Structure 1
């Protein structure tokens, strides 16, 4: 009898399924960001694009993705993830699909802009789901796990997409990834539920709630229908939040190098064929995957051992950024093997630092998780515009070293931001009711 009672009240682990669903969504999300970089050498050859034109096309996603982070964050605060996520998935997957159907430089730019529009709410949704579904002591592990999806997908599927391009054509890179996204959108809508509406038992819901998970947030109704001046003042007026905003810009600059110029670097500057370059391009992503998994587990381990959130969350981020600075040495060797080793170390560091969304969960005002996440992602993903354009302008036909030097300077700036701006990790307070005014 006692055993039966204990079994009945044992918490379920439905949140594990939620983590897996987020993981799969992130895999698809990042394949649709990176598929252009895989196809770019073939597209550039077919359309006779200059380096500057390639940089513009590679940056097109970032223009709309960054610009719509705030509206996207606002939508996340208003529309349940069960509805918003599959809607976004279908729309960005359709835009991706049609990139493989419609040719031409202008058409590709227009469709890439659309992918950026509909992917804009994705990571604020992820952050909100993690805050709702996971207690604080598990959250960095969950964030690290689903964030690793971007690297697992790229590591394992970059060679597959490169092979598909070689066997068929670059068009099929977009057709295949678009169809996968549409299918997953249907499955997401069928399976995702909020904690109190899911198959998680009351013991699991209470475990999440008592551990700092905001399980009742989906049922809370916002006080106002519109963003107020005080809301914007809160997310723009905090030194701590600016520390993570700018730090995210610096961190994601390295990521966007790998998502845009890296395959072109291997094909054009290292003279590799598509299949070999696809394989070698996957190695830094594998290193980044290891970094992500180590980071989440290490951070939560430190929390459980009594370390402050500042040490547990910022420590892996700063250490990872320090490792990423080795990228500058890639411009001083002619050995392809050494370049891959150097860039794998740098991208391991990027993965180690990639639990930055745990700081959004820890610092953001609870009512403004979506808006704060949107601002964080907006400023962070300005790098998706800057990185491809700046590298396209500063590299020469003979040397990619200026590109590596630029990435290193940006990384050092990120370290300084986390050290001097973020400070103690604690939730930022909202402005008072008297300070609020509708905008």
Structure 2
């Protein structure tokens, strides 16, 4: 059964509070997690040569990461429900930092394949924990902004990672790229564990005013409930938002894993130029992530329907991204292509930020489970993309891989139309 969401704001927001400190910590955690992913893509040309790996084999490696990440989404959501976000995320950061270090110790295709698969498995609780934290620490009209902030950290990581990776790679070798990243992850894990709590009422730094504000604006009972799988699968929103996220991450993961290779081998850029050019699109999506969450929340607060505040913005993101990617096929200047792709990825940020808020809108206390479901779909897209893009690019040309991105955007538009973000799924 689905019921229309009604939200009544009874308390004004404190100017600043502990909930935003938690979100700042999550910003850096997500940034580090994406540094650990994007440094592989920047190092790919060097690793291919050093380990004698083909592009299709590297596509399989990145697909195995996404398979491991996506397959564990529901178990990770159940783990977060049982043990809380503090312990679950701390354990995830610890393990993925270890596997990041081990990435720098591999000696061939099979060992790299295994390490990156396990890296994906242990990183699976990341955004489930982020979303579960935000749904308990933020009222509905702040959740898009709360979710956007950590996601912006993830998207800004590829802005700073390429030049740093190139520097470490040229001075110390590609192995040290991953060793240093893993050490940074261990540091942020300790900080998170010492500060975080599962609920605001458990934290000594949360003021009485802030706690009252959070609790009086909650739109669901925070006590754990039975997971209504039958109602989930009967809901067109549950299925539609999953397909939306599949399309979103297929599009975005292309930039994460194949853009550096595309810039060097398709556009003929040097290693140094590629380091800057591959970071530029992520600057656009990072900026968009900050803005789109705030815009969506402002529309909700102004009493626009959730369809306008959420769905229409996703549709706009897919549509503009498709037009811009299609336009790159008719541009022959390398930097012209980079700028078009940068703006396209910026608008693609709409399609990845807002589904997080929708999972809170329709899920309530079950947000973590719903987000685990849509993230499983998303990383199914992430698993398919590296192999498909590598195969199509190698055998038919990389412009055909770009054309597939346009097609994926069109599917995303259709799926988003089926999502009823104004209605909460209940038992």
Q: Per the shorter chain, which TM-score range?
A: over 0.9
- Partners of 1:383 and 1:10 in 2: CA distance: 40
From the superposition, tell whether residues 277 and 12 of structure 1 become closer, same or farther in structure 2 (CA, over 3 Å).
Answer: closer
Do structure 1's residue 277 and structure 2's residue 274 form an aligned pair?
yes
Q: Does the CA-based 8 Å contact 2:51-2:107 persist in structure 1?
A: no
Do structure 1's residue 255 and structure 2's residue 252 form an aligned pair?
yes
Aligned to 2:398: 400
The Cα of 1:373 is off from its aligned counterpart by 1.5
| 1:306 partner SS | coil
**Across the two proteins, how many residue pairs are aligned to each other?**
411
| 2:246 partner SS | helix
Query: Of residues 121, 129, 133 in structure 2, which corresponds to 1:129?
Result: 133
Q: Does the CA-based 8 Å contact 2:311-2:421 persist in structure 1?
A: no
Aligned to 2:377: 379
Aligned to 1:203: 209
Greater Cα offset, 252-261 or 310-319:
310-319
* Per-residue deviation, residues 12-46 of structure 1 (Å, max 9, x unmatched): 61111011011111101211222211111111111
The Cα of 1:344 is off from its aligned counterpart by 0.8
The Cα of 1:272 is off from its aligned counterpart by 2.1
- 1:172-211 superposed matches below 5 A: 172-193=176-197, 194-198=199-203, 199-211=205-217
Do structure 1's residue 239 and structure 2's residue 236 form an aligned pair?
yes
Query: Of residues 386, 389, 397 in structure 2, which corresponds to 1:388?
Result: 386
Greater Cα offset, 317-326 or 233-242:
233-242
Greater Cα offset, 87-96 or 97-106:
97-106
Q: Does the CA-based 8 Å contact 1:38-1:161 persist in structure 2?
A: yes
Aligned to 2:10: none
| 1:200 partner SS | coil
From the superposition, tell whether residues 114 and 41 of structure 1 become closer, same or farther in structure 2 (CA, over 3 Å).
Answer: same
- Partners of 2:36 and 2:59 in 1: CA distance: 17
* Per-residue deviation, residues 199-231 of structure 1 (Å, max 9, x unmatched): 1112211111222266x73xx3x466xx6xxx3
| 1:382 partner SS | helix
- Partners of 2:290 and 2:86 in 1: CA distance: 27
- Partners of 2:15 and 2:336 in 1: CA distance: 49
* Per-residue deviation, residues 387-430 of structure 1 (Å, max 9, x unmatched): 001011111378310110011101110011112x1135221122
Q: Does the CA-based 8 Å contact 2:225-2:365 persist in structure 1?
A: no
Q: Does the CA-based 8 Å contact 1:69-1:377 persist in structure 2?
A: yes
The Cα of 1:377 is off from its aligned counterpart by 0.6
Aligned to 1:368: 366
Q: Unaligned 5+ residue runs, structure 1?
A: 1-8, 431-439
| 2:394 partner SS | coil
Q: Unaligned 5+ residue runs, structure 2?
A: 1-12
Q: Does the CA-based 8 Å contact 2:310-2:421 persist in structure 1?
A: no
Q: Does the CA-based 8 Å contact 1:166-1:274 persist in structure 2?
A: no
From the superposition, tell whether residues 424 and 62 of structure 1 become closer, same or farther in structure 2 (CA, over 3 Å).
Answer: closer
- Partners of 1:306 and 1:213 in 2: CA distance: 16
- Partners of 2:298 and 2:156 in 1: CA distance: 23
Q: Does the CA-based 8 Å contact 1:12-1:200 persist in structure 2?
A: no
* Per-residue deviation, residues 347-374 of structure 1 (Å, max 9, x unmatched): 011113322100000012x342222111
- Partners of 1:223 and 1:16 in 2: CA distance: 27
- Partners of 1:415 and 1:159 in 2: CA distance: 35
- 1:103-182 superposed matches below 5 A: 103-182=107-186
Greater Cα offset, 368-377 or 108-117:
368-377
